[in-house]
Amino acid sequence: MALLQISEPGQSLDPHQRRVAVGIDLGTTHSLVAAVRHGVAECLPAEDGRVILPSVVRYLDPAQGGSGRQIGFDALAAQVQDPANTVSSVKRLMGRSRAQVADVDKLPYSVVEQDGMAVVDTVAGRKTPMEVSAEILATLRFRAEDSFDDDLYGAVITVPAYFDDAQRQATKDAAQLAGINVLRLINEPTAAAIAYGLDNGSEGVYAIYDLGGGTFDISILRLTQGVFEVMATGGDSALGGDDYDQALAAWALAKHGVSAALTASERAAVHAEARRVKEALSSATSETFAATVAGQRIEHSVTPADFEASTAALTARTMTAVRKVLRDAGITKDEVQGVVMVGGSTRMPVVRRTVSEFFGQPALTNLNPDEVVALGAAIQANALAGNSRDGDLLLLDVIPLSLGIETMGGLVERIVPRNSAIPTALAQDFTTYKDGQTALALHVVQGERDLVADCRSLARFELRGIPPMVAGAARIRVTFTVDADGLLSVSAKEQGSGVEARVDVKPAYGLSDEQIAAMLQDSFATAQQDIQARALVEARVDADRMMAATRTALAADADLLQPAEREQIEALLASLATTAAGDDAKAIENATSELAKTTEPFAALRMNRGIQQALSGKKLEEV
């Protein structure tokens, strides 16, 4: 009787049909990629074993022989040495104009305006935030493909809950540039809730306090039998651990009366020192802040109390957002069953203590705050790829800011209120303003203010072909559709005649299809360069290994060779050394193969000698 097959828990029925799907936490300070393996979500490590990838990209100077870029820890190490070309915290620039970037002049690299978008001016040319983010995403993609030895089917990428439409679209564009199929964008607090809900079987109302390197989110979620309902969300997309670093650095400089403008290198060095001190104070009772600025050596002992005082305004800003989101959810803090801490910045003792005291209960920290978002995204990606048989996971996410259109007088008529569950489609009827009006101009906006001037403009389009009627007679239905990624499309239809117009909202920073195609071509070209560079390095390593082994063999057993044979091998060694110094990987491989082939008889002679020496003096019975 044949044995019946049983599938692994959490896996598809046919393991051979399993798709490689991952969750990616594209963070301000660092990023991670995770996947479900053997039924358990885990972060995927790089070759060195580290799962965290610093969200830092350094562009090299082509004029000085540099080609390409450094990503992650290599780039981070060069941040003080080459701050102008080392881009960190690029997430803060995503979907933003230069004017919308907080403290843009304090950044160590140059940010300029281009086509309504903040871009970074580097020695390798101007780089959009999407291009920089694509470098990070591509690195994580390659890590996932190396881990599974298979192509990536798709990814769930997390974004801050308070990211607006422009920032979400920028994230999708970055993923496209990196060659990643986006299965879904989900909010970071929702991803954290998935990880906690599935790991701990928790149910009830939870607050997700997410303080990362550059963004802060607070969300109230209700977890009930696998349903994750976001009741309300809020936060600040320009507040995070970076701001704590800057506040501490400003405090230390003020203590020493430093008021002169700092150079880019000095700013980077001071910022890095502030971050080091901040992290040290999570466990130490004091730490020395030491830096050299404007020719002056600064050394100051910093205590946890000093740090708390210098950053008190930032912690207070997070708690103001917490109170507001509780009001939006219509609950009190006493109704919150647990508080989940997410983001590396929640390791700061002052943050944990402040949150715990406010809610009157210890915060949940039993999952790694750096990894929890990526783990939740991986669980969702596994389900969307069809690998999981668990069909009871349902996400009810929300849209963070209200959506509406401009009406006469520059007023906003909100059609999709903030904290509406997504995906959603809501409609409202409008009419014409003048007799005989045959067209309607629609202006789509996002925000909570009543005046269009105070809200963010998303798109404009026109509905034409309306039959002439008296003012107020036409019935135009405007429908807002928000998909599962939180991205918007708007349509307008005159009910009587059926004429219709629609727009898929592309944010003002807009990458055109042509620009995306050009960037994709550039990325393909860069990928080819990377492949060639890797092949050259591997060929040189093999050549060095072969030459070292041959020289060792000659030193030990050269007497086994005839003089002509010895000369031939020595000549091939010299030739390989010369070839290996060049840049032709194929030539190096050929020279290595030639030396290996020529030394095969020598290797056989050495093996025979070794066997003879091992058997020397032994009887047949002993052998």
Catalytic positions, written as ranges: 25, 91, 188, 210
For residue 524, give the H/E element and its range: helix 513-557
Going from the C-alpha of 513 to that of each of 129, 156, 176, 510, 519, the distances in angstroms are 17, 23, 11, 9, 10
Q: Rounded to an integer, what distance in angstroms lies between the CA atom of residue 425 and that of residue 270?
A: 49
What is the H or E stretch that residue 574 is in?
A: helix 563-580
- Compute the C-alpha angle 487/490/495, nearest 5°: 155
Residues in the chain: 623
Q: Which two tokens stand for residue 545?
A: 């290994």
How far is CA 157 from each of CA 33, 76, 204, 276, 393, rounded to the nearest angstrom? Answer: 9, 23, 26, 29, 17
Residue in 298, 289, 287, 303 with CA at minimum distance from that of residue 259 = 298
Question: What span, in angstroms and rounded, lies between the C-alpha atoms of 324 and 318?
Answer: 10
Q: Apex CA 513: angle with CA 507 and CA 517, to 5°?
A: 130
CA–CA distance, 346 with 470 (Å, rounded to integer): 60
Residue where the block lists tokens 């901040």: 278
> Which residue matches tokens 């036409």?
474
Alpha helices per DSSP H over 201-331: 241-255, 264-280, 304-310, 312-329
| d(C-alpha 244, C-alpha 247), whole Å | 5
Q: For tokens 């390989």, what's the residue? A: 576
Residue 266 CA from chain centroid, whole number: 27
* Whole-angstrom distance, CA of residue 366 vs CA of residue 227: 22
- Give the full edge-to-edge strand order of the sheet including 110-114: 110-114, 117-122, 125-127
Collect all residues with Cβ–Cβ distance below 8 Å to 284 and sequence separation of at least 6.
none
Closest by CA position to 442, among listed 387, 403, 398: 403
What separation, in Å, do the N-terminal and C-terminal C-alpha atoms of the chain show? 48
Q: Tell how strand 424-430 and strand 488-494 pair up.
A: unpaired
Three-class SS of residue 618? coil
Which of 202, 431, 514 shows the shortest CA–CA distance to 339? 202
Please give the structure tokens belonging to residue 552. 């060792």
Q: Which two tokens stand for residue 254?
A: 């003020």
Cβ neighbourhood burial of 308 (10 Å; 0-12, 13-18, 19+): middle
Amino acid at 375: L
Separation between Cα atoms, residue 621 and residue 623, nearest integer Å? 5
> Residue 351: in which H helix or E strand, if any?
helix 349-359
Please name the residue that has the structure tokens 């009871």.
392
- Chain centroid offset of residue 541 CA: 33
